[in-house]
Amino acid sequence: MSYDLNIYLSPGPQPVPDPVEGLGWQIAVYPATPIDPDDMPVELRAAIGPRSHLVSVHLEGARTSRAEDTLAQMIEQFVLYDNAVVHDLQTDLLTSQKGVQQLIIAPPEPRPAPLVMEWIYRCAAPGRAALRERILDVIAATAPKAMPRRYGSFEPMPFTFAETGRAHLLEDWGREEWSYFWRGSAPYQWCFHHAPMVTDVRPPNEMELYEWCSMSLHVSQRILKTKKDKAAMLALFAALSEALDVVYAEIVSEADRGPLFKGYGLPPRAGLACVIGPDYAPHWPDFVEGSKAIGQHHMRDSIIGDDILPVPPETLHAPPQLDPLNNPLNTKWARAEIFPFKPLS
């Protein structure tokens, strides 16, 4: 297990210290990355002040006296020469030119689970570049607050859209499309996009559906209290469902969200809105008998109705009781072989 430090400074050092290696240990140093104040607790934000960059340092391997002395010297250099604040993630101690203080973070207040908009669709590799362009066009036209503010394929997200621009986002997204994140502006939160790797030549697996792409966007439930933002969310949901030619899309509370199309069937309750692609609509009764009430008509009413999200059905058709030996992890979900939803040929 590594010993981890976060170094907060502004601006980032050019360059950061080189990694250090010893007998049975090494200190890895990652490049300076811009930080987003929204990504950290209020107490930590107040402690680091206006510092805008993060350098991650990790002592890996044996914690010998030589290794710890080397790490201490590196910390001292950051504090003295870069006016950094060093956060020891093991002890929550903060070291700066003002001395050492204990970071105390208050427990977060309980919040309602966010809404999740999720789209599941198929897109062959040659068409994905154009589709990424279309996704950004649709978001910009319907719900600009959901556009990327920070983005990248790992945490913390290394790029700021206002600084790098659309062309860089599309280029980086294309390189890392199998797992890509961005963060929008409130009330929109995280967006995650997944596409199978082009080099993935495994045969289609009906239980895991490797050939499917998916996109999920988290939204604060506060959006339901603002008529304009709620209308924009519904417009985005409808427009992307059409642009992606989805197999299935839904708006659901994170608390009720399940592993749809990842080897399981539908959750026992409907979401706020749902749409089924036209090629799959005829199979909906075969998937689960009671789900017709939240099919295409439900989605259309949600979008073009009186701008009030309809009250969803209390339950879907209850799935058969499963043998715990065949489904030991969670009997709440119906497995795909019970409600077959076969991939398109």
Which tens digit of pLDDT belongs to each residue from 73-99?
999 999 998 899 999 999 999 999 999
pLDDT at 208 over 50: no
pLDDT of residue 271: 58
At residue 282 the predicted structure's pLDDT band, cuts being 50, 70 and 90, is low
Q: Which long-range contacts (CB under 8 A, 24 or more apart) does 297-306 make?
A: 298/270, 298/273, 298/274, 299/238, 299/241, 299/249, 299/273, 299/274, 299/275, 302/234, 302/272, 302/273, 303/234, 303/235, 303/237, 303/238, 303/273
pLDDT at 28 over 70: yes
Average confidence (pLDDT) over 167-178: 90
pLDDT at 142 over 80: yes
* CA of residue 88 relative to chain centroid, distance: 26
pLDDT of residue 66: 94
| Percent of the chain clearing pLDDT 70 (strictly above) | 68
| 330-343 per-position pLDDT tens digit | 333 333 333 333 33
Higher pLDDT, 62 or 288: 62
Residues 32-71 as b/e (b if ≥16 CB within 10 A, e otherwise) read bbbbeeeebeeebeebbeebbbbbbbbbbbeeeeebeebb
Tokens 């689960």, residue located? 288
pLDDT of residue 249: 78
pLDDT of residue 8: 94
The whole-angstrom separation of Cα 223 and Cα 230 is 6
pLDDT at 269 over 60: no
Tokens of 227: 């008529």
pLDDT of residue 245: 78
pLDDT of residue 294: 40
Higher pLDDT, 226 or 271: 226
Lowest mean pLDDT among 81-95, 165-179, 280-294, 311-325: 311-325
pTM: 0.62
Tokens 């203080």, residue located? 101
The whole-angstrom separation of Cα 314 and Cα 305 is 20
Please return the burial class of 72, using the count of CB atoms within 10 Å of its CB with bins 0-12, 13-18 and 19+: exposed
| Percent of the chain clearing pLDDT 90 (strictly above) | 33
Tokens of 286: 């075969």
Find out if CATH 3.30.70.330 is the number for domain 115-147+184-304.
no
Tokens 């879907």, residue located? 316
In the chain, where are the structural domains located?
A: 3-102, 115-147+184-304
Average predicted confidence (pLDDT) for the chain: 74
Lowest mean pLDDT among 134-138, 228-232, 243-247: 243-247
The reply to whether omega before 15 is within 30° of 0 (cis) is yes
pLDDT of residue 226: 86
- Find which of 177-181, 193-197, 297-301 is predicted with most confidence, using mean pLDDT: 177-181
